[in-house]
Chains A and B, each alone.
Chain A
């Protein structure tokens, strides 16, 4: 269970201060598939980064299973990211010098809990439909394929939550549909909580819950999210 309480994020740019989030509160139950929507600049990415523990909020709290996680030191947050959270970035964020296979198993190697991370990475690549391309480098893959590798990478350590920031922003409709359907399958078949950002109203159809942001505040909510 993810709880966001009175979250405020102000970007301090010296003279200018940008208020990206203001008093945002909501709760995501386990196994939910949540879409965060809103116009450009409404604060979607900012919210996801706070939830993904990639940044620290100006005020407010984030609780993961009741434990306050947003104020932990970076070392602790890195451990949580590695073990419990999978993050898929808006831009393709693969490591260019590693093959698809290596990109996927790297976090598994880092966590080092099981030695079968290579095998598991192969399975995950098959799951996202890239079983044939495991030894390809990112530059040899299309945008959609790269994004699916990124999803496989986010899943290597069996995270409880997958956070995806506009995973289809740079993709055509067919690739987008494949990526979104991959996320849906993960949610349904593996029970992973999926939180994704989108500004395409059409993507509501993949979600069980929807949160709409407007100027850093929640403008509308529906589904299981409270």
Chain B
């Protein structure tokens, strides 16, 4: 085995060294492009999913959502529960919300929405919505006349947003809108600010301070519809969720992943697209190596015949070709990985792709790179093996003495 290996290395190394540099570079270039393609799709998908997940966590659910198991769907004794949650190690902050269905109207436009009663100071420690204001300012804790609108509700004269034609269309910070609660109560609010988080579900929300929602509607005191919990980046979400669950037995504990259904279905279709693109890519890589090896083998029929005639085993000769294919593939993979990590990813970070939940940044993950390397290498080896195998079947006599 080691003899064959030594002979094959000698044959492979000298064929690369003595071969045309231009051709070698061209093969490596093609394989590098295929490698880039193989990295790009999972990179995009990875960026897409993690971008979407981040948006869900930072603007929609927080890390953990606490709801009630009770028939009223309301959590009781909220203030005490919150201080107990915040006492758990790894919890940064928790914020309670109450909510009511309502109809919003402005001029001739009307639209339905859920209005959340929030505690602004706590919200800021759990969500990043206050950083996504495109107009006006965030709610002040004592502000009983103000309302905060997501851009998909306000419209803000931006017809290119997804749900503009279902929105109030021309509402801006400072405008007065009318809110008709499900209870029948009608009230005018001044729009304090409009936010655009780029996550549609969030941008369909409207906020008033908790006190105001309670004053406008007969809601039981010290109750909440949900509590949203922000945990430290390296904290163990499962364990914290379990600890919260054990505080009381009338709580339903969900994590952000339970809400990420949209992302999941998106991931599903992208997996199919990815598979199709990968097959095409690998065909390109395989056919390239196949053609290169095939032409080479045809040109060297006589040389291979001579090698066999002087006693070099077919195994060694085949191994030499496989080694050469490995060299091309590995070099191509290295070039592709470097180009991806140091060229494509930074470039895309500067000019990101835009998706309904914000900008998507490509990610270069080690696992994807390794998998790509493995796939490309196996393809290259299989593609090199077929033509070499064919020429090994030819009789030595025909290989050496027939043209």
Which A residues form the contact surface with B (CB < 8 A)? 49, 52, 54-55, 75, 78-79, 81-83, 87, 89, 93, 95-98, 102, 106-107, 109-112, 137, 153-154, 157
Which B residues form the contact surface with A (CB < 8 A)? 2-4, 6-7, 10-11, 14-15, 17-19, 303, 306-314, 316, 395-397, 400
* B7 close to A106 (CB less than 8 A): yes
* B3 close to A109 (CB less than 8 A): yes
The secondary structure that dominates the B interface is helix
* B396 close to A98 (CB less than 8 A): no
* B397 close to A95 (CB less than 8 A): no
In the complex, which residues of chain B have a beta carbon less than 8 angstroms from the beta carbon of A137?
A: 18
In the complex, which residues of chain A have a beta carbon less than 8 angstroms from the beta carbon of B303?
A: 95-96
**Complex CA distance for A186 and B147, rounded to whole angstroms:** 106
Cβ-neighbour of B14 out of A49, A54, A97 (below 8 A): A97
Cβ-neighbour of A93 out of B2, B11, B306 (below 8 A): B306
**Complex CA distance for A109 and B10, rounded to whole angstroms:** 10
In the complex, which residues of chain A have a beta carbon less than 8 angstroms from the beta carbon of B19?
A: 97
Q: Output the nearest chain B residue to A103 by Cβ-Cβ distance.
A: B310
Tell me, rounded to whole Å, the shortest Cβ–Cβ distance linking A170 to chain B.
15
* A111 close to B14 (CB less than 8 A): no
Tell me, rounded to whole Å, the shortest Cβ–Cβ distance linking A78 to chain B.
6
**Complex CA distance for A49 and B19, rounded to whole angstroms:** 31
**Complex CA distance for A102 and B3, rounded to whole angstroms:** 15
In the complex, which residues of chain B have a beta carbon less than 8 angstroms from the beta carbon of A52?
A: 309
Highest count of chain B CB atoms <10 Å: which of A97, A102, A154: A97
Asked whether A97 and B18 contact (CB < 8 A) given A49-B397, A54-B309, the answer is yes
* A110 close to B14 (CB less than 8 A): no
In the complex, which residues of chain A have a beta carbon less than 8 angstroms from the beta carbon of B6?
A: 109, 112
In the complex, which residues of chain B have a beta carbon less than 8 angstroms from the beta carbon of A106?
A: 7, 10, 310, 312
Asked whether A89 and B306 contact (CB < 8 A) given A97-B18, A110-B316, the answer is yes
**Complex CA distance for A54 and B394, rounded to whole angstroms:** 12
Tell me, rounded to whole Å, the shortest Cβ–Cβ distance linking A75 to chain B.
8
Q: Can you report 15 residue pairs joining A to B where beta carbons are below 8 Å apart?
A: A52-B309, A79-B311, A82-B311, A89-B309, A93-B309, A93-B400, A95-B306, A95-B307, A97-B15, A106-B7, A109-B3, A110-B7, A110-B312, A112-B2, A112-B6
* A55 close to B395 (CB less than 8 A): yes
In the complex, which residues of chain B have a beta carbon less than 8 angstroms from the beta carbon of A109?
A: 3, 6-7, 10
In the complex, which residues of chain B have a beta carbon less than 8 angstroms from the beta carbon of A49?
A: 397
| Besides the known contacts A79-B311, A89-B306, 7 further A-B residue pairs in the complex with CB atoms under 8 A apart | A54-B397, A78-B314, A81-B310, A95-B307, A106-B7, A110-B316, A112-B6
Asked whether A102 and B14 contact (CB < 8 A) given A55-B395, A107-B311, the answer is yes
**Complex CA distance for A159 and B371, rounded to whole angstroms:** 49
In the complex, which residues of chain B have a beta carbon less than 8 angstroms from the beta carbon of A89?
A: 306, 309, 400
In the complex, which residues of chain B have a beta carbon less than 8 angstroms from the beta carbon of A110?
A: 3-4, 7, 311-313, 316
In the complex, which residues of chain B have a beta carbon less than 8 angstroms from the beta carbon of A55?
A: 395-397
Q: Output the nearest chain A residue to B310 by Cβ-Cβ distance.
A: A107
